[in-house]
Amino acid sequence: MKIINATPHPIVVRTPEGDQTFEPSGTLPRVSTIETPTEPIEGLPCVTQSMGDIHGLPDAVPGVVYIVSALVFGASDRTDLIAPDTGKGAVRDDKGRILGVTRFLRRG
């Protein structure tokens, strides 16, 4: 299995056997957003947002898994995508910055 990091940041995976780092590949899929103006609150402008199309995501290739952002992961139903679990799977420093993850989100 080949794992390609399609995020702009190195992804560090912390395991009992040691850290594994996936460097950015240069592939950066993004999700467009659709904004619709809505009722202002106390005179402050507001919009609703929904996810649009994914741009820049390579076609699926057998034996290849892409690490993508949580937004791209959530906007797609592809089973060849994983996203760093930055919730309960995150390892953080004393200032809350993510140092690495212990697991990924994936679809079965």
Cα distance between residue 72 and residue 81, in whole Å: 9
Residue in the structure block whose two tokens are 């957003």: 33
pLDDT score, position 65: 98
Cα distance between residue 76 and residue 15, in whole Å: 27
Number of independent structural domains in the chain: 1
E strands along 1-108, which residues?
A: 2-5, 11-15, 18-22, 30-41, 44-55, 64-67, 81-84, 90-92, 98-101, 104-106
pLDDT score, position 31: 97
pLDDT score, position 48: 97
Q: By residue range, what is the domain housing residue 97? A: 2-106
pLDDT, tens only, 60-69: 999 999 999 9
pTM (predicted TM-score): 0.86
Cα distance between residue 106 and residue 48, in whole Å: 27
Segments of the chain with pLDDT less than 50: none
Q: How far apart are the first and last CA of the chain?
A: 16
Quick one: how far is CA 16 from the chain centroid? 24
pLDDT score, position 108: 76
